[in-house]
Amino acid sequence: MIAAFFDIDGTIYRNSLLTEHFKKLIKYELLDIGEYESKVKETFKQWDERTGDYDKYLQELTETYVEAIKGLSLKYNEFISDQVMELKGNRVYRYTRDMIAWHKSQGHKVIFISGSPHFLVSRMANKWGADDYCGSIYHDKDGVLSGDISPMWDSGNKMKAINKFCEKYNIKLEDSYAYGDTNGDFSMLNLVGHPRAINPSGELLARIKETPELREKAEIYIERKDIVYKVSAEVETI
């Protein structure tokens, strides 16, 4: 079996599902905006103005989010998650949207592996017809989110997830594909025969360049406005 492994945030979805969920919780006054303002706003501003690092912004955002939603009612969480998908679920990159459709037409297994919360990943997988998925598990107790998490945003855990899917579906990694955009997707890209970096972060691109085998086989795609550019992993950055 051939599979196509897709990261979601920044690869399929043109932002972060976690960010959208965080903002909706604040909008509906289920979280204090101070949690976002005091800890994340400045890092986001630096990245948005292209003076800061994207991976650092995502790390700080995730750490703040994890702490902020502890104790959130599952009932409210389900409502907000549905709102995110209804209002933002179509905000995807054209290239990866088309690749999902292509892989499905070829009979490949389409699998989403994302660091976003499982309750968002499951909705995204259902919306875009993925055959399977895994995300960060946010555990609950007595009807509220407990604060305990089994993460899926790092390269090590994504590698373990792929190995489990390989056992489940008898996947041939040398014939399979992976799509990712940040350093957390490095192991996914490195494991397959057809790695594709989508609008890669500087950190991911640097790791691709310093890994000879991956540099040789990786394809880099940049989507801007309504054009998709394919460039070599040897592309110079300024």
Mention every residue, 6+ apart, whose C-beta is less than 8 A from residue 235. 205, 220
Whether 129 and 91 have beta carbons less than 8 Å apart is answered as: no
Q: Identify the pLDDT of residue 217.
A: 94
Tens-binned pLDDT, residue by residue, of the chain (238 aa)? 999 999 999 999 998 898 899 889 888 888 766 655 665 666 666 766 666 666 677 777 777 888 888 899 999 999 999 999 999 999 999 999 999 999 999 999 999 999 899 999 999 999 999 999 999 999 999 999 998 888 787 878 888 999 999 999 999 999 999 999 988 899 999 999 999 999 998 889 999 999 999 999 999 999 998 899 998 877 766 6
Residue 238 lies in a domain: no
Containing domain of residue 100, as a range? Answer: 3-231
Residue 113 lies in a domain: yes
Phi and psi based region of residue 49 (left: phi greater than 0; alpha: psi -120 to 50; beta: remaining): alpha
Residue 193 lies in a domain: yes
Instruction: Pull the structure tokens for residue 4.
Output: 């196509």
Q: Identify the pLDDT of residue 26.
A: 85
Q: Identify the pLDDT of residue 6.
A: 97
Token pair 């995300």 is found at: 135
Give the angle 179-181-203 at the CA atoms, nearest 5°. Answer: 135
Residue 237 lies in a domain: no
Phi and psi based region of residue 90 (left: phi greater than 0; alpha: psi -120 to 50; beta: remaining): alpha
Residue 105 lies in a domain: yes
Q: Identify the pLDDT of residue 51.
A: 66
Of 11, 4, 9, the C-alpha closest to 152 is 9
Mention every residue, 6+ apart, whose C-beta is less than 8 A from residue 39. 60, 63, 64
Token pair 């700080």 is found at: 60
Q: Identify the pLDDT of residue 189.
A: 95
Residue 15 lies in a domain: yes
Whether 20 and 188 have beta carbons less than 8 Å apart is answered as: no
Residue 142 lies in a domain: yes
How many alpha carbons lie under 13 Å from residue 155 in its C-beta half-sphere?
A: 15
The enclosing domain of 129 has a CATH number of 3.40.50.1000
Q: How many domains does the chain have?
A: 1
Residue 93 lies in a domain: yes
